[in-house]
Amino acid sequence: MTQTLDIALAQLNPTVGDVANNIDKVRRARAEASAADLLVCGELFVAGYPPEDLVLKRSFQAYVAAQVTDLARETADGGPAVLLGAPWRVDGRLYNAALLLEDGRIAETRLKYDLPNYGVFDEKRVFSAGPLPEPIPFKGVPLGVMICEDMWKPAVAAHLKKQGAKMLVVINGSPFEVDKTHMRERYAQNRVSETGLPLMYVNLVGGQDELVFDGSSFVMDAEGAVGVRVPAWDEAVVSGRWQENGAWRCGTVTATPALERVENIYRAMVMGLRDYVDKNYFPGVLIGLSGGVDSALSAAVAVDALGADRVHCVMMPSPYTSRESLEDAAAAAGLLGVQLDTISIEPAMQAFDTMLREVFVGHEKDTTEENVQARSRGITLMAISNKLGYMVLSTGNKSEMSVGYATLYGDMCGGYSVLKDIYKTTVYNVSRWRNDHRPAGLKGPEGRVIPERILTKAPSAELKPDQTDQDSLPPYDELDAILHCLIEEDMALRDIVAAGHDAAIVERVWRMLDRAEYKRRQAPPGVKITARAFGRDRRYPITNGFTGKA
């Protein structure tokens, strides 16, 4: 058995379905780590993660197998062996597999044992579960290879230890959510403590539809200390020399500090939007810039993700739009350096008034006329989008989407939403943070990007005179606290009241949340940030007679 191993962690950004380019990324990483013995990539990297029902297509499976076989042949050149994830058929069944490519062949195959089937995960729908895996022998060293969820419970690590593994190697497709980095390291420490083995953890990075992957790969020694932490949100190939002296230990110490919570949120928004736009080949994005904080933050994220030249903003005033909002939208566009056009929707409002006058005879004005304004803006944005090819970025936040404070085919119009899983109070916190910080690698300007008055004035949809959000909603700090209890914590109404909230307000918020499900089903995708985002995470029936009183 060798006494040293040079192992490179390849934290890379795949695109689902783009097998050839994903394999090329492995080739480039292998060339970068040419002195290593082994290059370790993430879960299902060849297919991209999550491949969903694409992975069921036999033609796709065959293409994956052909591309992996070609890459395996290249490992006969004396360079690093490769450990990577791929969908793989064994005895007629499809598995989530880890493959060792070595000496020109697919030398070893290990199958995922614990298939997650909760939250955003549907792996039992498309994959079969494998048996408890045996260690993979590599240069005489038994490697205990686990695939993502296999690390979250004790069984697989304990079995690998019992079968003689000397170190644990975990390949992952672990999506980002707030505070999850600490959770991963805690589970890793548990497995290390139970087995007495060091552990390396390699995660994907990048955006895929509503999911983002932060990377945050790391190496942990047998005492549970992190000696290597790969920077989050960036592709990287990081090599370390492992030596055996009674126990295996990685001598490299490059543990970059974990990012603060608010920076992780912002970087997730940027990466989710960037990869959604770029991987779907949109030339840029189009934003209705209202002079409010939601659209201002959305524009800042877009510029940081894509650059100012790929962000087009439109101010669409009505007779109820304040002078402040016009000035604030212009100021925000100026700080970001984006194009801002102004298109009044008053002619559209007048046209709809004329069109609908006879049908509306005998009915007082109400939210109908307000919604016509929002839909006039939606039509305007979609017309520009059709003409220029830019994708409309909707700007509604999680607080509004939770309680239905949004107009179908109006301000909900769009192809993507970076604020979909961001509560209003978080919108303000993230906005203030971005005014004070600009992480390296972002494309927006240094310094303030959101005017101070946008952060201090009362939020308003400006669909009627002197309107503010708090006319029809509880204060956002109270609303968001109740929504968190209802959505992320799934608490009963009586328990939320017992926690100190007014019973009438709790019941009202719950009813608004429940009744707005039909709207959310028609909302665009958006970046998952919290532990329970709308969409894949939280799947409630639209027709629902539960009263919440139980």
One-letter amino acid of 407: T
Q: At what angle do helices 424-436 and 476-487 cross, to 10 degrees?
A: 110
3-state secondary structure of 81: strand
C-alpha distances out from residue 417 to 121, 274, 526, 528, Å: 21, 12, 4, 10
3-state secondary structure of 71: helix
What whole-number distance in Å separates Cα of residue 388 and Cα of residue 468?
33
- 3-state SS of the chain: helix, strand, coil percent to 5? 40, 20, 40
Annotate 477-505 with b (16+ C-beta within 10 A) or e (fewer): ebbbbbbbbbbeeebebeebbeeebeeeb
Is 244 a catalytic site residue? no
The answer to whether the Cα torsion of 498, 501, 505, 511 is positive or negative is negative
What whole-number distance in Å separates Cα of residue 156 and Cα of residue 149?
10
Is 112 a catalytic site residue? yes
Spatial CA neighbour of 78 closest among 108, 34, 29 = 34
Spatial CA neighbour of 39 closest among 296, 183, 238 = 238
Tokens, residue 128: 């079969």
CB contact at 8 A, 355 and 369: no
| Catalytic residue, candidates 102, 123, 148, 177 | 148
What whole-number distance in Å separates Cα of residue 544 and Cα of residue 435?
43
3-state secondary structure of 320: coil
The contacts of residue 152 (CB under 8 Å, 6+ apart) are 114, 187
CB contact at 8 A, 177 and 530: yes
Spatial CA neighbour of 5 closest among 231, 166, 237 = 166
Beta bridge partners of 392: 286
The contacts of residue 319 (CB under 8 Å, 6+ apart) are 346, 349
Spatial CA neighbour of 501 closest among 482, 486, 488, 514 = 482
The DSSP letter of residue 429 is H
CB contact at 8 A, 143 and 7: no
| Catalytic residue, candidates 25, 112, 279, 398 | 112
Q: Reading across the β-sheet that carries 236-244, which strands appear in turn?
A: 105-111, 93-102, 81-90, 38-40, 4-11, 236-244, 248-250
Q: Catalytic residues, which ones? A: 43, 112, 148
